[in-house]
Amino acid sequence: MPAHPLDGTTICALSTPPGRGGVAVVRVSGSQAWPIVDRLCAGRLEGATPGRAALRTLFDGDAELDEALLLPFRGPRSFTGEDIVECHIHGSPYIAQRLMECLVDAGCRAALPGEFTQRAFLHGKRDLAQAEAIGDLIDADHAGAHRLALQQLGGGFSQEINAFREALIEYAALMELELDFGEEDVEFADRKGYRRHVTGLLDRISELLDGFSTGRAIAEGVPVAILGAPNRGKSTLLNALLREERAIVSETPGTTRDTLEETLTLEGIRFRFIDTAGLRDTTDDIEAEGIRRAWAKAASARFILYLLDARDLASESGRQAAEGEIRVAAQALERAAARSGEPQGVLLALVNKTDLCAEPEGWNPEGAAEVLAISAEERKGLDLLERRLARDYRSALTEERILVTNLRHREALQRTREALQRALDGLEAGLSGDLLAVDHREALEQLGRITGAVTPDDLLGHIFSNFCIGK
């Protein structure tokens, strides 16, 4: 049974990674934080100034354990909202281990994963979306993910959700009023106003939901599938982009049989380039499976780099064949998007091997967003390609745009949208106020889950158990 986060205990944890280091930080939070640490430093913590570091000797029984820099805080002006003492010790695993044991002997409990952040939430220092952003911030290992986590930590998203809720709460109050006067045929204020308001809200929620795949792509790496018939230079392109010989390049068609994925950061945005098996009719089972995977990767990619050979495009019949290929690919992507409900990736036609043959002028096949001429072998045209890929995502990050990246938030927004849509439909159908109120309350509840204004029992444990210990 995990202890309740606000069970009155004082918790402690090593907040820096385990192992040797210059400094390690053990954090203690709770009403007994000061007195417990005070005991470990021979009564020399009391009288320290909150927010000011104090150099003290820590004792393990009678023996000296370490010279430590203690940083005490008084709640509510602390990360968790409780009294805190941060013990900055020398980064020896032995010292950290002993200090933790001494703290537990003195009455602390070892913290659960995410318990400091959970206490910060429960004491109103952060709402739930912001607390989750702390987890994302710690996990961020590239500029894009970092930027998104900071935006969410800043609270813009939470403010917007709260504004939605406040407006809906006003209407809920009017609906309740109507119910109270049930028999007297009173209609809650202005139903036209309600419709207008909810329609506006639905538009904005849809906008936020549309941004999800962009936000998610930035956080996880934007998937880019490299597609096309065998021998077009797909593997050569992957190697050229990565500047290393990652994929096997060969004149033998059908060399790449599985998908191969590598990441590359362009202008602070992480991309996941996926080399695929060449598309062709085949009787080989393994190759056929590779081709099936190629299409699956393309369906979930944000960009599809469709490779063509410049030499094939020199003739009218070759151009027509290529147009046919691109049309087939674009249609397959469109069908996949319709099935999954995810936005369709951008198909870029890449005319490769332009070192051997010039690209056709002004050729613009249907289904391709753009045509770019490259030579993977000679690394020509790759700068332009890289800039084209980064363009969409760079603007998404620089605009002050709120991007939803968290699956939980998306689900709550989707349910909000469904509930509000039902309320609107009910309004059209002339349903009574008590029936509308059910959907209306559901929308309120779902929005409340995002910021933690509403927290079903299992929600918090689920969220914070994914954090690391000491955070």
Binding region for Mg ion (CB under 5 A): 234-235, 256
Of the residues 58, 131, 149, 249, which one makes contact with ligand GDP according to CB under 6 A: 249
Of the candidate spans 251-259, 286-294, 405-413, 456-464, the one that interacts with ligand GDP by CB under 6 A turns out to be: 251-259
Note whether 24 and 14 are within 8 A (CB): yes
Q: Which of 94, 98, 85, 101 is nearest to 25 (CA)?
A: 85
Note whether 31 and 83 are within 8 A (CB): yes
Of the residues 9, 10, 32, 236, which one makes contact with ligand GDP according to CB under 6 A: 236
Question: What secondary structure, in 3-state letters, does 200-255 show?
Answer: HHHHHHHHHHHHHHHHHHHHHCEEEEEECCCCCCHHHHHHHHHCCCCCCCCCCCCC
Of the candidate spans 40-48, 176-184, 340-348, 351-359, the one that interacts with ligand GDP by CB under 6 A turns out to be: 351-359
Q: Is 230 in the site for ligand GDP (CB under 6 A)?
A: yes
Decide which of Mg ion, ligand GDP, none touches 400; Cβ closer than 5 to 8 Å per partner kind.
none
Of the residues 356, 358, 384, 407, which one makes contact with ligand GDP according to CB under 6 A: 356
Q: Is 455 in the site for ligand GDP (CB under 6 A)?
A: no
Q: Which of 199, 140, 190 is nearest to 405 (CA)?
A: 140
**3-state class percentages of the chain: helix first, strand second, coil last, to nearest 5:** 50, 15, 35
- For ligand GDP, the closer CB: 31 or 250: 250
Shortest Cβ contact with Mg ion: which residue? 256
Reading the block at residue 304, the tokens are: 């599809």
Q: How far apart are the first and last CA of the chain?
A: 20
The HSE-up count of residue 192 (CA atoms within 13 Å, CB side) is 0
Token look-up 């280091």 returns 21
- For ligand GDP, the closer CB: 100 or 357: 357
267: phi > 0 → left, psi -120 to 50 → alpha, else beta; which?
Answer: left
Q: Is 257 in the site for ligand GDP (CB under 6 A)?
A: no
Shortest Cβ contact with ligand GDP: which residue? 233
Of the residues 147, 232, 440, 471, which one makes contact with ligand GDP according to CB under 6 A: 232
**Least distance from C-beta 255 to Mg ion, angstroms?**
5
Using CB atoms within 10 Å of the CB of residue 342, give its burial: 0 to 12 exposed, 13 to 18 middle, 19+ buried: middle
Q: What DSSP designation does 312 have?
A: G
Of the candidate spans 40-48, 234-242, 311-319, 390-398, the one that interacts with ligand GDP by CB under 6 A turns out to be: 234-242
- For ligand GDP, the closer CB: 221 or 278: 278
Of the residues 29, 158, 214, 256, which one makes contact with ligand GDP according to CB under 6 A: 256
- For ligand GDP, the closer CB: 130 or 231: 231
Of the candidate spans 39-47, 229-237, 416-424, 448-456, the one that interacts with ligand GDP by CB under 6 A turns out to be: 229-237
Reading the block at residue 66, the tokens are: 């370490």
Reading the block at residue 152, the tokens are: 């969410």
Of the candidate spans 23-31, 173-181, 232-240, 452-460, the one that interacts with ligand GDP by CB under 6 A turns out to be: 232-240
- For Mg ion, the closer CB: 256 or 354: 256
Q: What is the CA radius of gyration of the chain?
A: 29
**Least distance from C-beta 122 to ligand GDP, angstroms?**
54
Long-range CB contacts for residues 316-319, cutoff 8 Å, separation at least 24: 319/360, 319/363, 319/365
DSSP 3-state of 344 = coil
Decide which of Mg ion, ligand GDP, none touches 231; Cβ closer than 5 to 8 Å per partner kind.
ligand GDP
Strands 21-29 vs 84-91: parallel, antiparallel or unpaired: antiparallel
**Least distance from C-beta 424 to ligand GDP, angstroms?**
51
- For ligand GDP, the closer CB: 108 or 305: 305
Of the candidate spans 45-53, 94-102, 168-176, 231-239, the one that interacts with ligand GDP by CB under 6 A turns out to be: 231-239
Q: Which residues make up the interface to ligand GDP (CB under 6 A)?
A: 230-236, 249-251, 255-256, 278, 352-353, 355-356, 375-377
